[in-house]
Amino acid sequence: MGLDKRRHYGRKIKRTKNLYRRRKTAGQKVFGTVMLVLAVSAIAFLGFCIGKPLLDYIGSIGKEPPAEKWTPAASYAGQQDEKAPLESGFDVSGAASEVSDESESGSVSDVPGSTVPVSDDVRQTVETNQPHSTTADTGAETVLTIPSDSTLVSAEAPASALSNRASLAAVLAKAKSGGFNAVVVQLKDRNGCLHYKSGIAGVADSVVDEGSMTLDEIISVFAENGMIPIAEIAVLSDDKGCMLFPDMSFKCRDDPVMSWLQGGVRRWANPESDAAREYFVKVTTELTGSGFEHILLTDVVFPDLQYYDAEYVPDRYFEADRYRMLYNVINTGSMIEMKASDVTGETFGLTAECLNDTSRLRENKVALVINRSDLPTDAGYPADAKTLVETILSLAEKKVGGLEIVPVIDGSGFDDAEKAKMTGALSALGYESYIVR
């Protein structure tokens, strides 16, 4: 009976509230579909925006970050524009003649980034120019060459010595009373400033001309005091010279008009540039023509290029044979300053790269700077000053290819007692010439 009753009334189905709630109209279904599509699109967009940088960051972990490209300051760009007429460089035909008769003619057709051979005029001037001086009283020619049996024992004058005749005379008198017969005067510093009044066209009264005395005045003070002048000039470290003549400087690989700046602030003269070579000839010709027969060249070096500089500096300036360019700015007979540590190491350091081919050095001398602070602490050099100088010179003699060494005792690394021991050792070893700073 119970079964027949269920068949008569049918099966009873219990419907819950949730079941009714899930029943939707057609409009609700369409709206839900649209919202689902929008949600999926939004998730995909966010995944792209956030996921890609995140993956890039993860992939960059452990890699060297690229160097940021520098942009010259607006003031520098203005200086480049103001100096534009001087970018053509120098005409060195007749460079051995009187500097006062020169005119700023001709142009340098050096294309930045290319190798241009030095002109015959420049090469002849660098190799064969022989300086003399003329005394003011008699007009007789005075050759300042030191006899082979004499010594060139020199002190180095402070920059302030060239402020006037009295200051220079006082320094010379003190050096003479101390047993020196020559004095080094810095006439071109590492910023490119000239510490004498130049007569070179385009240079006189410019940003580089900071001198108070003319070369003739300087030479006459030396003559009055019976002392031998030695001119010290920084060659390639020349920020202001490159500011005055932008063609002298290293150029950026991707912008051959823009000067490369070391550390983003400092220009450096390029020995491959015709303008740099010709400027060097102009300066040395002016010095030797005034009576400076002895010239000490400092900074005959490339800038200390780092790995990040490769983004801006052409590859050839990183190559092992780049030292060949340095011979363009080394004149015959000059002394070339080199650090002892750069000469005596397993390979030649920055200041000694030109020793890689000593056949290219003509009658040049190595001004070997001995400074305790420059020597590697782990090299085992002796502590005693006398033994130290003997050891360094013994090592250097084997590396310089027969060139004469002029020891330079750097006073910043030794006290007076040590310097006395070292100079005594130099005399005992037979070194006729040396410089004490």
Residue 19: pLDDT band with limits 50, 70, 90? very low
User: Residue 369's beta-bridge partner residues?
Assistant: 339, 408
- Which runs of consecutive H residues, i.e. helices, occur in 85-210? 120-128, 165-177
Dump pLDDT digits (tens) for 358-382. 999 989 999 999 998 888 877 788 8
Residue 40's pLDDT is 67
User: Residue 184's beta-bridge partner residues?
Assistant: 156, 230
User: Residue 297's beta-bridge partner residues?
Assistant: 233, 336
Residue 281: pLDDT band with limits 50, 70, 90? very high
Neighbours of 229 (CB within 10 A): 27
Residue 63: pLDDT band with limits 50, 70, 90? very low
Dump pLDDT digits (tens) for 289-347. 999 999 999 999 999 999 999 999 999 999 999 999 999 999 999 999 999 999 999 99
Residues 405-423: what's their mean pLDDT?
Answer: 90
Q: Return the closest-CA partner of residue 253 out of 214, 306, 309.
A: 309
Decide: residue 123, CB within 10 A, 0-12 exposed, 13-18 middle, 19+ buried.
middle
Residues 54-81: what's their mean pLDDT?
Answer: 42
Type and span of the H or E element at 155 = strand 152-156
Residue 405: pLDDT band with limits 50, 70, 90? very high
Average pLDDT across the chain, whole number? 76
pTM of the predicted model, to two decimals? 0.68
Decide: residue 190, CB within 10 A, 0-12 exposed, 13-18 middle, 19+ buried.
middle
- In angstroms, the CA 350 to CA 342 distance is 7
Say which residue, 133 or 331, is predicted with more confidence: 331
Dump pLDDT digits (tens) for 27-41. 666 667 767 767 766
Domain boundaries, the chain: 18-60, 74-332
